[in-house]
Amino acid sequence: MSLRVLVGCKRVIDYAVKIRVRPDKLGVVTDGVKHSMNPFDEIAIEEAVRLKEKKIAKEVVAVSCGPTQAQETIRTALAMGADRGIHVEIPAKEMEKLEPLHVSKILAKLAEQEQAELVIVGKQAIDDDSNATAQMTAALLDWPQATFASKLEKTDGELEVTREVDGGLETIKVKLPAVVSSDLRLNEPRYATLPNIMKAKKKKIAKMKPSDLGVNLASHLEVIEVVDPPTREAGIKVEDVDTLVTKLKDSGRI
Amino acid sequence: MTFGPSPRSGPRPLDSTAAALCVLDLGNGLWKDYSRAYRILRNVLCNKIMAEFSPTTETELSHKHLTPELKLHLITPTCRLWTSPPPHSPFLDPFWAFYWPGGQAVSRFILDNAHLVKGKRVLDFGCGCGASGLAAKTSTAKHVTFNDIDKVALEAVLLNGYQNNIVVDSLLSSNLIGSPSGQYDVVLVGDMLYDTDFAHQVLCWLQNLHESGSLVIIGDPGRFALESHPLKKLLMCLGKYELTEATILENRGYTQAFVWTFR
């Protein structure tokens, strides 16, 4: 059996950028800030391409929901080896109101339309850290889910997935079709080189709107306030172990 | 591409590559064969950009592919451009600098089945580096037309022909899609089916060529545009090749290439 794999990739503020809260405290500054593909989604794309190289997958379709610039994210996915892209256009000003549930509905609908048998997404996006899209997509499709995958192996009609859980590693089997979310150790994405970037320019990106998929972007969540994390206070030095123990006891830590 | 002298008259500075070719040509006694090719080369290389960045200086002569008997000027991991973002490349989309998996499969197939092109008039459509056409020449084709809309690709064909002691019969930079075939017995198509819309145009044209009597030989690594096209049903597989590690590296997601023809 050869699978068609649908992979979600989100355009987020680059992991190396220092995040600044907007003056109105309802979001973060995105204008003029470097963006790139969510690193967990890069891992998801890489895994799908490796499945293709192992002849387990026949086609890898990269999907991104976002403004015009989301196409750059899709091009990156195509340069990594995805076969074609789908850009679900969300106007820039509506991006902030895009919730994991909306993206899940879009992915679920596309998985049906494309007759995908496997959906892989990053376990979370590094901008909102929601960690919800994979789970909700699986629920909407009524497919099994294997989240926080650190290893993927295909057995007859099933996937054997090693998951990173609190106590260590858990290995589960899920029947296909299924939804998988990638954890950090699933693989190490390969750097895209000139030949792959050039060839990616020839690959197709289909454009559509959420309404084309019958997805309504009505908000379910309201942002009340966004604040910077509290600044850490400087530590103190103590003379010896006894003083340390006393200090810890005094501050109620032990 | 015109074969006549450049519109500017008078002596022109020679690019070091052209000068080196000139000396080699005379030394090898091949000057007569290459004089026409040399004139074209000189015209192209005198262009300022080409003088600074010629395909020879930005590529490596590579034989790490399915047709190691052909040495080709390619951008490889040892070249500066391998890791450069496309805007840093002096060439616009140097598709000729990579030996596409489908092209490799067609060239290998032709070298292994020389009887298919022996004494025939061959078209290498979308020739890129020209490997498939050069394979046809090696397999004693009567006449090979190298066709690519990128003129730098045609220059690369000349350089690659020179490197392999193969005479390049003719170069054509027009878009041939839709044109009648008449003049070609065999049409080689290496990895041209990359985009769904474009693949449709190419496949319909190739079907016409097949119906008017040309032998159409298509190489493809299993790209979606071909796999999903209705005309795929009319194709039969002539060969299947495992790609080399170097080729897999520059073609993420593909490990094999196939050769097809119309039933």
What are the pLDDT digits (tens) for B200-244? 999 999 999 999 999 999 999 998 889 889 999 999 999 999 999
- Residues of A whose CB is below 8 A from B75: 194-195
What average pLDDT does this structure show over B28-57?
50
Tell me: pLDDT of B25 over 70: no
Task: Give percent of chain B with pLDDT exceeding 70.
Answer: 78
Mean pLDDT, residues B25-38:
45
Is B69 part of the contact surface with chain A (CB cutoff 8 Å)? Answer: no
Taking alpha carbons only, the member of B46, B1, B38 closest to residue B20 is B38
Q: What is the mean pLDDT of chain B?
A: 81
Q: Is A58 on the interface with B (CB under 8 A)?
A: yes
Check if B196 contacts A (Cβ < 8 Å). Answer: yes
pLDDT at position B39 is 52
Cβ separation B77–A193 shorter than 8 A: yes
pLDDT given for residue B164 in this prediction: 94
**More reliable by pLDDT, B21 or A165:** A165
Q: Given CB atoms, is A84 within the 8 Å cutoff of chain B?
A: yes
User: In CATH, which of 3.40.50.2000, 1.10.260.40, 3.40.50.620, 1.10.540.10 is domain A3-250?
Assistant: 3.40.50.620
Residue to substitute from A47, A60, A193, interface B, most B β-carbons within 10 A: A193
Q: What is the CA radius of gyration of chain A?
A: 21
Tens of pLDDT, residue by residue over B1-19, are 333 333 333 333 334 444 3
A194 touches chain B (CB under 8 A): yes
Give the H/E segment covering residue A76.
helix A70-80
The whole-number pLDDT of residue B128 equals 94
Query: Where do the structural domains in chain A lie, given as residue ranges?
Result: 3-250
Q: Which pLDDT does position B38 carry in this prediction?
A: 53
Q: Please determine, for residue B135, whether its predicted confidence score (pLDDT) is greater than 90.
A: yes
Chain A residues touching residue B197 (CB < 8 angstroms): 204
The ipTM assigned to this model is 0.70
Candidates B252, B254, B255, B256, partner chain A, best to mutate (most A CBs within 10 A): B252
Give how far A71 is from chain B: nearest CA, Å. Answer: 17
Cβ distance of A199 and B194 shorter than 8 Å: yes
Whether the pLDDT of residue B55 is over 70: the answer is no
Cβ–Cβ pairs < 8 A, chains A and B: 66
Residue B22 pLDDT > 80, yes or no?
Answer: no
**Distance (Å) from the alpha carbon of A169 to chain B's nearest alpha carbon:** 29
> pLDDT digit of tens for each residue in chain A (254 aa)?
589 999 999 999 999 999 999 999 999 999 899 999 999 999 999 999 999 989 899 899 999 999 999 999 999 999 999 999 999 999 988 998 899 999 999 999 999 999 999 999 999 999 999 999 999 999 999 999 999 999 999 988 899 999 999 989 999 999 999 999 999 999 999 878 888 888 888 888 999 999 999 999 999 999 999 999 888 888 889 999 999 999 999 988 88
What confidence tens digit (pLDDT) does each residue in B161-204 have? 999 999 999 999 999 998 886 789 999 999 999 888 889 999 99
**Which pLDDT belongs to residue B30?**
43
Is residue B41's pLDDT more than 80? no
pLDDT for B109 beyond 70? yes
Position B19 scores a pLDDT of 38
Residue B54 pLDDT class (50, 70, 90 cuts): low
DSSP chain B: ---S--SS-S--PPPHHHHHHHHHHHHHT-HHHHHHHHHHHHHHHTSHHHHHS-TTTS-EEE--SS-TTS-EEE--TTSGGGGS-GGG-SSSS-GGGS--HHHHHHHHHHHHTGGGTBT-EEEEET-TT-HHHHHHHHTTBSEEEEE-S-HHHHHHHHHHHHHTT----EEE-S--TT---TT-SEEEEES---SHHHHHHHHHHHHHHHHTTPEEEEEES--HHHHT-GGGGGEEEEEEEEPPHHHHHTSTT--EEEEEEE-
- The reported pLDDT for the residue numbered B4 is 35
